[in-house]
Amino acid sequence: MANKNDLEGLQIPEHIAIILDGNGRWAKKRMMPRNYGHVQGSKNVERICRAAYNMGVKYLTVYAFSTENWSRPEDEVETIMKLLNNYLKDCIKLTTKNNMKVRVIGNISRLDESMQKRIRELEEISASNTGLNLQVALNYGSRDEILRAMKRMMVDYDKKAISLDEIDETLFSEYLDTKDIPDPDLLIRTSGEQRLSNYLLWQMAYTEFYFTNVLWPDFSEKDLEDAVRYYNSKERRFGGLTNG
């Protein structure tokens, strides 16, 4: 188990965002159906949540299903939805035990009504927990999130609840699904792909990126530690100059 001593002296990112990639290839390598990879991938989310929390990470945001993922074969979408629905159900039971606070980001109105109800229940039950803040991106796309935010903002503008002069980055952030959540310090993408895939585009303006060839179901606590070490090798300047 990761303990703080293994990482002594290292700065732990407050917020880690992860693109869980490679479930399908992981299964294919084992001559198993893709859906088997998703089952193992979803189990790994739980392991990595625990490891991250033990390390001192406060926010973890995982990309579970994108607005583009609907174009996958129907049976794969169905399996993923079932897995996510079960995951949310287990989360309702586990959230108090783990003191975890869960929030779903993305446009949940396209999900079936029972899933939406489960999401609302989960968010409500866990709202006052003080442990790991887990954000699950579900039917999430960053461009879609920005457009939804902009539309809500325009409604407030029409109602004269806000004025043009008030609109700045801070105010706009409050219309995003990630309201009140600090921007990610570190992004991890597994499976060797090096792109953002419409993930947290606004929020990751100054995030450090860590790409690894490890496929998501194999991504271990040790891999998470490697990512944190990489993060520590970077000097974050946020567009400014090096000190000294």
User: Which residues are known catalytic residues?
Assistant: 21, 69
Closest CA to 26 of 18, 36, 16: 36
Site membership for ligand FPP, residue 141 (CB under 6 A): no
| Shorter beta-carbon distance to ligand FPP: residue 63 or 231 | 63
**Position 104 contacts ligand FPP (CB under 6 A):** no
- Interaction between residue 142 and ligand FPP (CB under 6 A): no
Helix (H, G, I), strand (E, B) or coil at 186: strand
Q: Contacts with ligand FPP in 187-216 (CB under 6 A)?
A: 191
Least distance from ligand FPP to the Cβ atom of residue 227, Å: 17
Q: Which is nearer to ligand FPP, 110 or 237 (CB)?
A: 110
Beta-strand pair 101-105/186-189: unpaired
Cβ–Cβ under 8 Å, residues 122 and 102? yes
Residue nearest to ligand FPP (CB): 24
Residue 24 interacts with ligand FPP (CB under 6 A): yes or no: yes
User: Does residue number 118 form part of the binding site for ligand FPP (CB under 6 A)?
Assistant: no
Q: Does 41 bind ligand FPP (CB under 6 A)?
A: yes
Selected from 15, 18, 36, 42, the binder of ligand FPP by CB under 6 A is 42
Give the orientation angle of helix 221-233 with respect to helix 34-55, to 10 degrees: 60
49 is a contact residue toward ligand FPP (CB under 6 A): no
Q: Is the CB of residue 189 less than 8 Å from the CB of residue 211? A: yes
Residue from the set 80, 105, 111, 188 that interacts with ligand FPP by CB under 6 A: 80
- The secondary structure of 35-87 as a DSSP string is HHHHHHHHHHHHHHHHHHHHHT--EEEEEEEETTGGGS-HHHHHHHHHHHHHH
Positions in 143-162 near ligand FPP (CB under 6 A): none
**Cα dihedral sign for 157, 158, 164, 166?**
negative
Interaction between residue 13 and ligand FPP (CB under 6 A): no
Which secondary structure element, helix H or strand E, spans residue 15, and what is its range?
A: strand 15-19
Closest approach, Cβ 242 to ligand FPP, in A, equals 37
Minimum CB separation of residue 84 from ligand FPP in Å reads 6
Longest Cα pair distance anywhere in the chain, in angstroms? 59
Q: Which region among 83-91, 99-107, 124-132, 175-183 touches ligand FPP (by CB under 6 A)?
A: 83-91
60 scored as a contact of ligand FPP (CB under 6 A) = no
Q: Does 181 bind ligand FPP (CB under 6 A)?
A: no
Phi-psi region of 177 (alpha: psi -120 to 50; beta: other; left: phi over 0): alpha
Reported as half-sphere exposure (CB side, CA atoms, 13 A), residue 131 has a value of: 17
Q: Give residues in contact with ligand FPP (CB under 6 A).
A: 20-25, 38, 41-42, 45, 62, 64-65, 80, 83-84, 87, 136, 191
